[in-house]
Amino acid sequence: MTTSYPSVLTIAGSDSGGCAGIQADIKSISANGAFAASVITATTAQNTQGVFDIHPIPVTHIRKQLIAVLEDIDFGAIKIGMLHSADVIELVQKTLREYPIKKIVLDPVMVATSGDRLLNKAALGNLKSFLSDAYLITPNIPEAEILIDKKIDAQKLGEAAKEIGNTFKTSVLLKGGHLEDSEQMTDTLFLYDTQKSISIYNKRVQTKNTHGTGCTLSSAIAAQLSLGLPLEEAVKKACSYLNKSITQGKDKTLGKGNGPVQHFPK
């Protein structure tokens, strides 16, 4: 008897330092029990201290990567990370619509750790139009504030997640990591189909080793979905995995800057 690998396709940029991007995605997907395939949208000259250069992959080659894997492999979920230009966003959206995969986890990467916006106005418009194609989007607070054009505090997490979900017609995991006034990490999951909101709590870990946490979490969710878990259970399991990964990597050293999580916690 043969069985199929539960498989996830990650579409994102490459991080030469290995902490984030495609590299973090593959580690996270593997750690959560699924097989990872990848489509690379850009390469970076990057380490724990910063990003020093970005080399966009031509859109014609991105499409060829997409078709090569989608024509051959059955994916239980797709994870999408940073799509750096309006053309790339449009291409990925158009190509994925040619295939029947419904469980798309989209991490709407729009703001750098420095606070700088990563997408211009045209790209942001295309990204917003793409959000309704997703099964789940995973914005952090600065990204969520851009999506609804208002400030969000701890008391407004549930309200904001619901507004984003109903505006873009998708489920939302609003990540609360930027709220630093609590010893507790609170993420809010809004399920669009049922209009249900769930608060997910984990202990906040004090560490500088958080490079790639957004990539790691969204990939873990996609992996759990590919294993057949319902969305609420997949998100809760992925959040628990990430918290464990941060905890076990908090005192480790890699490079001179912000290190990664421990992608394979014991």
Question: What are the residues whose beta carbons fall under 8 Å from the beta carbon of 1, sequence distance 6 or more?
Answer: none
SS3 7: strand
Helical residues (DSSP H) of the chain, grouped into ranges = 21-31, 59-70, 86-96, 121-130, 141-148, 157-168, 213-226, 231-249
Which tokens sit at 219?
């990939």
Cβ contact 130:89 at 8 Å: yes
Give the span between the Cα atoms of 123 and 104, in whole angstroms: 19
Backbone angles phi, psi at 223, to 5 degrees: -65, -45
**Residues labelled catalytic:** 175, 210, 212-215
SS3 14: strand
Give the span between the Cα atoms of 259 and 78, in whole angstroms: 26
